[in-house]
Structure 1
């Protein structure tokens, strides 16, 4: 089912978490946060919207991390019903697309629920003090040609890092619904 993310609830605090990656290493919100903020992305392996932007996400995440903004991706999909999203498939997906950030498993889906995530991809951009300032899309490329794109998420996170406040005009992310248990 195709969904759009709701608008940004400016100032909501980032819910804490402690989740494993596919190798069993635990990561908390403080582990993945950078000195200038953090991006929490809910993604999965099989969603065509995620697949279409995964390489761009990796590139944009590297840019953000180089600028002191932490990045983490979380897979909350029910992988018993969607085996392509199973933890053993996550490292291959991450490697294929060049992820240099933790890709975590939210097996009981409690973190996705705490964040209010609704689809993949769903992006949450937090300021250095842990307050929500961005809930929009990665860029304006959609599913097609990304050669002339506007990196809306990168631009927003840079503004947040500089001012502590996100842009008021944000275009929702669009994707497949999270596969709830």
Structure 2
């Protein structure tokens, strides 16, 4: 699978930036698809109990947040065709994060929430092939494209949109992967990686210093 190279900051009609703190999308181009009104999405709050969920993974196993109590959990909302997602997978930035932290006992859940017929929708077989071909290392890939229960519970707005839940079940981080809101692969180097920073602080028994940051990426498509 050829790794994409991003030489231009131009993005497609299906991409947008979003402000993680307010979870408000800032469209960079007209969007040809719709999203539910903000009232239809839950507002998961940092430093509050993380919304419970149960979802099937790409191998048919049910994954529930309740079963993961006592572990740090990362939620990575994804769309493999999104240029912002490709930026982090094409440079192995996402895979390196996954591998570094799962080796330390963190549960990393990659969540594919695109509904059928929309960019980023995957079958279980496609999800497993993407994991293999990209040398990814999540604990599991959750398929959330049916009723989009997990995405709605957390108010996921873009891909990648990142959330971290501590061992006590509290949501302690929500926002972007880093501070470089572009689709350029070259911008990975030198970026401040908020997810890595938050996980490092948690592993040291410290509070997360930046619990809410600006999320950026391609807009999550919600079915009506």
Q: TM-score scaled by structure 1? A: 0.86
CA distance in 2: counterparts of 1:157 and 1:33, whole angstroms: 16
- Kept in 2, the 8 Å contact 1:128–1:161? The answer is no
Cα distance, 1:49–1:95 mapped onto 2, change above 3 Å: same
Q: Structure 1's 92 and 113: CA in aligned 2 closer, same or farther, altered over 3 A?
A: same
More displaced 10-residue stretch of structure 1: 145-154 or 89-98: 145-154
**Are residue 4 (structure 1) and residue 25 (structure 2) matched?**
no
Q: Report whether the alignment pairs 1:165 with 2:207.
A: yes
Instruction: Report the structure number with the largest CA radius of gyration.
Output: 2
Q: Distance in 1 between matches of 2:59 and 2:82?
A: 22
- Shift of residue 20 of structure 1? 1.6
Query: Where does 1:126-165 land on structure 2 (aligned, <5 Å)?
Result: 126-140=165-179, 142=182, 143-145=184-186, 146-163=188-205, 165=207
Most deviating of 125-134 and 138-147: 138-147
- Residues 1:99 and 2:136 are matched in the alignment: yes
Asked if 1:124 is matched to 2:163, the reply is yes
Shift of the alpha carbon at 1:73?
A: 0.9
Residues 33 and 137 of structure 1: CA distance in aligned 2, closer, same or farther (over 3 Å): farther
Quote the Cα distance in structure 1 between the aligned partners of 2:192 and 2:210: 17
Query: Is the contact made by 1:32 and 1:72 (CA closer than 8 Å) also made in structure 2?
Result: no
Structure 2 distance, partners of 1:29, 1:17, is 6
Residues paired across the two proteins, number: 179
Match of 2:152 in 1: 113
Distance verdict in 2 for CA 1:5–1:34, change over 3 Å: farther
Q: Per residue, is there more helix in 1 or in 2?
A: 1
Q: Give CA deviations for 1:62-93 in whole Å, capped at 9, x if unaligned.
A: 111122221111111113233x5221422222
Residue aligning to 1:43: 78
Cα distance in 1, alignment partners of residues 59 and 74 from structure 2: 22
Shift of 1:11: 1.1
Partner residue, 2:11: none
Q: Report the Cα offset of residue 24 of structure 1.
A: 1.7
Match of 1:174 in 2: 216
Q: Which runs of 5+ in 1 are unaligned?
A: none
Q: Which residue of 2 aligns with 1:65?
A: 102
- Cα RMSD, aligned residues only: 2.3
